[in-house]
């Protein structure tokens, strides 16, 4: 059964998959029609660009905003892409159903406050939205009020020297994510040069103001500060994320993550509905790992060659010809996995998939031998009733059986843990188990 959340998500997912038809939009919104020239919109005219943003926010999200002429006017499709990726990042790095409540921190929210507004429209999220620019803060607060979201979005003024992740000042213990679209440029000259290249007037709604667009060291230094803070806060935030404008910035950030020993990270290209490609990077000290399409969303050859992507988390372990009795095969697989000493194991008979968690690589022969010895000792000492403390979970996984007309495949996903070697070893165990089930079935047939 599809839930409200699922159908809402589906609607938002492909919203900008094809380019907008301005004539159609103009029919729906007379304010946009007034700035159109037939089917054309002048992207070099700040007033037209601003009207397009207002129109899309109104028609697609039922949001209304006001913006000053001298601050950045956010292109909606591009900002929406970041929110879509965040939704997938959170949904797939949790055992909860998609669409859980979450607290986010938007660092540098701008006059529009666009990310918190878009996020709250699509999900039961709440936000702390920060900025250092007093004019942007004033507009951001008004935009939150205008959309009746003051109970979910806390606009917080910061200074250049404050911590960027304001858990303490916002009076919260933890957060589910931080996000930022940092100022791009390292200097005013760089901004002017880029505006000249695009033949645009600088310091308008199209290009943004100096405070918005320029930061010492550029976007890598800005996100670098967030990374420094994350090394202190660690698990208190599940996902630290950023959007960057240059592939080289994403590459540098990933290099830094690896240098800091952060193994759980995600990189993606944000492309839908936007001519300008952007990149998103996220990292986590927690153990839940996102789905592969989210963590390794760099599909272009150039991107994949330059960025050191995180390890694969999904693997089709093997594909076999369809067994005679699919139900029996799946039951056997469930029983074998269930026979391991797992911390938990739940099987969904309808979907033919199960989720398990283990304190160690409990399928491994050496582990089982060790465990047997431990149990013998425990038995001898059992008169004293020693209670075993539960250990931390080292590995969480999903096993999926997929059936097509002629084949059956078994795949697994690494959902939790920091050790890629355990995942590899688990794949070996699943392969051996499936082969052994097939062998037994053949024996029976004889």
Which range touches ligand SAM (CB under 6 A), out of 20-28, 71-79, 306-314, 396-404?
A: 71-79
Nearer to ligand SAM, 80 or 123 (CB): 80
Q: How far is the CB of 253 from ligand SAM (least distance, A)?
A: 17
Q: How far is the CB of 366 from ligand SAM (least distance, A)?
A: 51
Q: Which long-range contacts (CB under 8 A, 24 or more apart) does 363-367 make?
A: 363/425, 363/426, 363/429, 364/425, 364/429
Beta bridge partners of residue 402, listed in sequence order: 409
Residue 16's alpha-carbon distances to 19, 43, 85, 165, 383, in angstroms, are 6, 17, 14, 31, 67
> What is the total count of residues that contact ligand SAM (CB under 6 A)?
25
Q: Is 78 annotated as a binding residue?
A: no
Q: CB of 14: closest distance to ligand SAM in angstroms? A: 22
Q: Which stretch binds ligand SAM (CB under 6 A): 26-34, 61-69, 130-138, 292-300?
A: 130-138
131 binds ligand SAM (CB under 6 A): yes
100 marked among binding-site residues: no
Compute the distance between CA of residue 326 and CA of residue 204 in angstroms, rounded to an integer.
63
With CB atoms as reference, the residue minimizing the distance to ligand SAM is 108
Strand partners, 436: none
Of 27, 89, 70, the C-alpha closest to 292 is 89
Output the smallest distance, CB 255 to ligand SAM, in A: 23
Cα 365 to its chain centre, rounded Å, is: 36
Say if residue 407 carries a ligand binding annotation.
no
CB of 185 to ligand SAM, least distance (A): 10
CA distance 153 to 175: 14
- Compute the least distance from the CB of residue 136 to ligand SAM, in Å: 5
Do 235 and 228 touch, CB atoms closer than 8 A?
Answer: no
- Which of 91, 176, 212, 291 binds ligand SAM (CB under 6 A)? It is 212
User: Considering beta carbons, is residue 213 or 358 the nearer one to ligand SAM?
Assistant: 213
Q: Does 280 bind ligand SAM (CB under 6 A)?
A: no
Distances (CA, A) of 416 to 105, 119, 360, 425: 24, 26, 12, 15
Contact flags string 106-125 toward ligand SAM, x per CB under 6 A: -xxxx-x-xx----------
Q: Which of 18, 160, 197, 406 binds ligand SAM (CB under 6 A)?
A: 160
Task: Confirm or reject binding of residue 154 to ligand SAM (CB under 6 A).
Answer: no
**Rounded to whole angstroms, how far apart are CA atoms 431 and 274?**
43
CA distance 77 to 53: 9
Buried b / exposed e over 373-392, threshold 16 CB at 10 Å, is eeeeeeeeeeeeeeeeeeee
- Taking the complex as a whole, the smallest distance from the CB of residue 162 to ligand SAM amounts, in Å, to 7
Q: Collapsing DSSP states into helix, strand and coil, what is residue 164? A: coil
Among 15, 50, 63, 72, binds ligand SAM (CB under 6 A): 72
Residues of each annotated binding site for S-adenosyl-L-methionine: 79, 108, 131, 181
Q: Which residues bind ligand SAM (CB under 6 A)?
A: 72, 74, 79, 107-110, 112, 114-115, 130-133, 136, 158, 160, 164, 181-183, 211-213, 215
Residues of each annotated binding site: 79, 108, 131, 181
């Amino acid at each position: 059964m599809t839930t409200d959340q699922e159908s809402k998500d589906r609607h938002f997912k492909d919203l900008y998959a094809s380019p907008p038809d301005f004539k159609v939009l103009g029919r729906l919104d007379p304010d946009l029609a007034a700035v159109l020239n037939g089917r054309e919109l002048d992207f070099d005219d700040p007033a037209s660009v601003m009207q397009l943003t207002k129109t899309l926010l109104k028609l697609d999200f039922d949001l209304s905003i006001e913006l000053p002429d001298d601050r950045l006017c956010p292109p909606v499709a591009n900002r929406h892409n970041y929110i879509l990726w965040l939704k997938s990042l959170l949904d797939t790095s949790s055992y909860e159903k998609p669409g859980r409540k979450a607290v986010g921190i938007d660092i540098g929210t701008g006059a529009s406050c666009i990310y918190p507004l878009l996020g709250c429209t699509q999900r039961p999220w709440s936000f702390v939205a920060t900025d250092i620019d007093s004019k942007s803060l004033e507009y951001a607060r008004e935009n939150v009020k205008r959309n009746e979201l003051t109970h979910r979005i806390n606009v917080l003024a910061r200074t250049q020297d404050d911590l960027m992740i304001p858990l303490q000042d916002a009076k919260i213990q933890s957060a589910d994510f931080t996000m930022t679209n940092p100022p791009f440029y390292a200097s005013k000259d760089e901004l002017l040069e880029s505006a000249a290249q695009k033949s645009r007037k600088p310091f308008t709604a199209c290009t943004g103001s100096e405070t918005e667009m320029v930061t010492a060291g550029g976007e890598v230094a800005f996100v670098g500060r967030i990374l420094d803070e994350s090394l202190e806060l660690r698990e208190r935030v599940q996902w630290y994320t950023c959007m960057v404008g240059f592939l080289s910035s994403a590459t540098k950030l990933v290099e830094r993550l690896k240098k800091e020993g952060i193994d759980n990270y995600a990189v993606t290209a944000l492309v839908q509905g936007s001519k300008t490609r952007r990149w998103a990077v996220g990292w986590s000290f927690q153990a839940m790992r996102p789905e592969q399409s989210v963590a390794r969303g760099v599909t272009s050859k150039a991107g994949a060659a330059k960025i050191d992507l995180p390890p694969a988390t999904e693997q089709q372990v093997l594909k076999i010809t369809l067994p005679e009795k699919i139900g029996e095969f799946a039951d056997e697989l469930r029983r074998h996995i269930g026979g391991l000493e797992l911390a938990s194991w739940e099987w969904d008979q309808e979907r033919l998939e199960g989720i398990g968690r283990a304190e160690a690589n409990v399928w491994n022969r050496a582990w089982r031998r060790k465990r047997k010895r431990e149990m013998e000792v425990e038995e001898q000492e059992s008169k004293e009733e020693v209670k075993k403390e539960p250990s931390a979970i080292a590995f969480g996984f999903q096993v999926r059986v997929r059936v097509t007309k002629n084949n059956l495949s078994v795949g697994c996903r690494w959902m939790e843990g920091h050790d890629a070697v355990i995942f590899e070893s688990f794949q070996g165990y699943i392969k051996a188990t499936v082969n052994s089930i097939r062998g037994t079935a053949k024996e029976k047939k004889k």
